[in-house]
Amino acid sequence: MERSFVMVKPDGVQRGLVGEIVSRLEAKGLKLVAARFEKLPEARVTEQYKEHLSKPFFPGLKTYIMGGPVFLMVWEGRNVVAIVRKVIGATNPQEAMPGTIRGDFGIDIGRNVIHASDSVESAAREIGIHFKADEVCTYTRIDESVLYEY
């Protein structure tokens, strides 16, 4: 099983969308294995977005992400990275399909409600930034036998 990192950004938290987002991912059959609600420190924001440090939008992004609490999660499932990306929709909410999280709740690319890992490799890196190994739970969902062909 793969794991993916997902973060409800400050605009999603402020708009009361945490429960809706968790519900959509659970209803899809994905398994929540770690979660934490917090205001991110600068060091972790810088590490999370290190590929954007030299880009002109980074200072605003950093201010925005640090401007309010976020909800950090680790989700597990077969092909979870690709599945989560489809559920959340295109980065630009104006291009996101209706029925996706960004398509239903986002308006502006700079306030697009949610972040999710874009590859298995970035998921491992992002999970490592925000969670210690012992903070990620291992368990079997009671419905896994009907979710997957083995």
Tens-place pLDDT, residues 114-144: 999 999 999 999 999 999 999 999 999 999 9
> For the chain, what is the mean pLDDT?
96
In CATH terms, 2-137 corresponds, of 3.30.70.890, 3.30.1180.10, 3.30.70.141, 3.30.470.20, to: 3.30.70.141
Asked if 5 contacts 108 with a C-beta cutoff of 8 angstroms, the reply is: no
pTM of the prediction? Answer: 0.95
- Mean pLDDT, range 49-63, rounded to an integer: 94
Length of the chain, in residues? 150
Active site residues: 115
CA distance 44 to 23: 27
The radius of gyration computed from the CA coordinates of the chain, to the nearest angstrom, equals 15
- pLDDT one-digit tens code per residue, 10-53: 999 999 999 999 999 999 999 999 999 999 999 999 999 999 99
**At residue 35, what is the residue type?**
A
DSSP 139: -
Distance CA 107, CA 89 (A): 12
Q: Angle of helix 18-27 relative to helix 80-88, nearest 10 degrees?
A: 130
